Amino acid sequence: MARTPRTTTILLCLAALSASLSTTGCRVNDTDVKRWETTELGPTKLVAVITHDKYEWPLRTDAAMALVRMKPRAGRRIGIGKLQEAVASLPAADRAKLVANLAPLLVKEIDKPPVAQQGVAEQKGGDPSIPFKDAAYALVSYDKAALVTDEAVKKTLTDALIRWATADFDRRIAISSQLYNIEQIFRFIGADAGRALPPLVKPDSAFDRMTALVAEIGDPPTKDKMAQALVALGQYTEGQEWFTKNKQRVKEANETAGYKVADDKLDLQTKDYQEEQVTKVFAALKKVGGRPAVEYLLGVGGDKAKPPKRREAALAALDGRLDRSNPNDAARVIEIAKADETPDAVRQQAFSRAAEFPRDSVAPKLYEIVTAKDQKKWKVRWVAASTVLKLSQAANLPEFYTKLPPGPAAGFAMSEPVTYGDIIGKMTPPPKKEDWLAQAKDPQLSKALVAFGYFYSHGRAADVPAMQAMEADARALPKVEDGDGKWQCPAPKEMKDMANVGEFVKYCVIPAMQARK
């Protein structure tokens, strides 16, 4: 095929680039560099300019910036990858020179004030600073070679990346057109990046994503500052100012959707939304932990003026965050658990938190609940005793039995010995079967009933003959007024109230055992 004059000129120019030759007819200039940003072979030509020492540094730097500015091709921003490879191929001295030249140019673009982008423009990657941010990160994070060897230059670039992220965090963290997202950048930079996040926490901010980053990369002081910022946010979100502001927003949302809602119903909607947002703050506090978080959440959990769901959520957020060496923390959750006015769901969370402490630090307080003569709710004793058992070993059982009610044990509900027997049966090692049979004859009724509770939960069909001998036990069962705690079991036709131990064995324990082979 015959060569046209234009084809010949292109080939000569490419040869000149490859061999670092120079002819007057194909000398590269700024105009060529700018044009190559948009041509098919442009990336290859720009890389040739960067990597050949024939060209002056201003032109080589301009070629590098042209790769950064290059628009995506087939949806991919290939210029930045080409830049990494080009810089990596340079001798160490040239590499350092080029990066030093590039750094201030990248930083200048990165530091330009954020431009509000919306809708389609944003979806198309309308933030003009993104390529320069991506290029800066690509240089400092390249894992095949050290592209930025000067620590001062590296700090200049990483500081600019932090400024870029925090200048418009809520919007920029959601942009999908980035080669490298904010989480990726912050994880690479580490604690220095984490320190920039606590001041950004405010209503309607992406505080949950900020908190996740601080929890992962933050140093202890930063985590404390994040916890303090979240506590302030939680207190604001709980308050009347938040409610009033967001009631209007909820109203406007209803109107936009074509709904007209009465004011009392609007209040309920807003309260539900408020609880949802407060719970979201609690979840963030659980991620970051720290003393400010613990104090605030314990305060909410113990405040009887707060909505029960909020108190429950606060105590749930303390899961794994209490100081196991702090006896005051243990005492506070137990106080919440034993208070008569504490709702059951809140109480359950308080007992769960108490169970996170070493046994010796909570058992005495829990036993006070078990043995309290003024205990109005058998369920409180039940959960307190169950909590102690879950923290105990077989060696602790003699002490446990001394805390159970003596004699007829009025108010001792059926669920209590059944649960205690089940928990003890799961201990390692559990008491032997013959020990349980002996305990079933114990004169302390509550202790004997725990043995029957073991057979109710763990006994098998093979053990039924031994149990049948107990059907003659005529000891009266405890009297319980609460319908949830009555001694009742299914009889042939209906639920039957059990009057004595023998009936409990016959109608409750043995049928449960027969169901297990």
Quick one: pLDDT at residue 408?
Answer: 74
Within a domain: 325: yes
CA atoms of 455 and 453, how far apart (whole Å) = 5
Residues 107 and 180 in one domain: yes
CA atoms of 455 and 432, how far apart (whole Å) = 12
Question: Where is pLDDT greater, at 356 or 32?
Answer: 356
- CA 24, 25, 30, 36 torsion: positive or negative? negative
- Across the range 135-157, mean pLDDT stands at 96
Give the chain's largest Cα–Cα span: 117
CA atoms of 41 and 296, how far apart (whole Å) = 61
Residues 76 and 32 in one domain: yes
- HEC string for 462-473: HHHHHHHHHHHC
Quick one: pLDDT at residue 116?
Answer: 59
One-letter amino acid at 221 equals P
- Contacts of residue 338, defined as CB under 8 A and 6 or more positions apart, other chains included, come to 368, 369, 372, 380, 384
Beta strands per DSSP E along 418-466: none
Residues 157 and 32 in one domain: yes
CA atoms of 273 and 277, how far apart (whole Å) = 6
CA atoms of 372 and 405, how far apart (whole Å) = 10
93-125, pLDDT tens digit by residue?
999 999 999 999 999 999 999 875 444 444 444
Residues 414 and 515 in one domain: yes
75-86, pLDDT tens digit by residue?
888 999 999 999
- Report residue 498 as tokens: 């059990």
394-426, pLDDT tens digit by residue?
999 999 999 998 877 788 999 999 999 999 999
Predicted TM-score (pTM) of this structure: 0.85
355-405, pLDDT tens digit by residue?
999 999 999 999 999 999 877 789 999 999 999 999 999 999 999 999 998
Residues 360 and 221 in one domain: no
**Contacts by 89-93 with C-beta closer than 8 Å and gap 24+?**
89/51, 90/50, 90/51, 92/149
261-281, pLDDT tens digit by residue?
999 999 999 999 999 999 999
Of the candidates 128, 14, 105, the one whose C-alpha atom is nearest the C-alpha of residue 58 is: 105
Q: Of all residues in the chain, what percent carry a pLDDT higher than 70?
A: 93
Residues 240 and 350 in one domain: no
Q: Of all residues in the chain, what percent carry a pLDDT higher than 90?
A: 81
Residues 54 and 146 in one domain: yes
How does the average pLDDT of the chain come out, rounded? 91
One-letter amino acid at 61 equals T
Helix or strand holding residue 489 (H, E) = strand 488-490
Residues 417 and 347 in one domain: no
Q: Domain residues for 72? A: 28-114+124-189
Domain boundary among 381, 403, 425: 403
The torsion angles phi and psi of 126, rounded to 5 degrees, stand at -70, -15
Residues 378 and 479 in one domain: no
Within a domain: 3: no
Quick one: pLDDT at residue 492?
Answer: 74
Domain boundary among 225, 258, 289: 289
Instruction: Domain count for the chain, please give it.
Output: 4
Within a domain: 258: yes
Within a domain: 5: no
- Contacts of residue 76, defined as CB under 8 A and 6 or more positions apart, other chains included, come to none
Report the DSSP pairing between strands 495-497 and 488-490: antiparallel
- Report residue 132 as tokens: 């320069």
- Contacts of residue 212, defined as CB under 8 A and 6 or more positions apart, other chains included, come to 183, 287
Within a domain: 269: yes
Residue 27 has pLDDT above 90, yes or no: no
- Contacts of residue 476, defined as CB under 8 A and 6 or more positions apart, other chains included, come to 408, 499, 500
Residue 20 has pLDDT above 50, yes or no: no
Residues 397 and 319 in one domain: yes
Query: Does residue 67 contact residue 83 with C-beta atoms inside 8 Å?
Result: yes
- Across the range 331-342, mean pLDDT stands at 94
223-260, pLDDT tens digit by residue?
999 999 999 999 999 999 999 999 999 999 999 999 98
Quick one: pLDDT at residue 409?
Answer: 75
Domain boundary among 260, 289, 318: 289
Within a domain: 2: no
Q: What is the DSSP letter of 177?
A: T
The torsion angles phi and psi of 410, rounded to 5 degrees, stand at -55, 135
CA atoms of 117 and 125, how far apart (whole Å) = 9
User: CA 490, 492, 498, 504: dihedral to nearest 10 degrees?
Assistant: -80
Query: Does residue 386 contact residue 419 with C-beta atoms inside 8 Å?
Result: yes
Within a domain: 16: no
Residues 382 and 329 in one domain: yes
Within a domain: 119: no
Residues 76 and 161 in one domain: yes
- Across the range 183-200, mean pLDDT stands at 98
The torsion angles phi and psi of 342, rounded to 5 degrees, stand at -70, 125
Residue 506 has pLDDT above 90, yes or no: yes
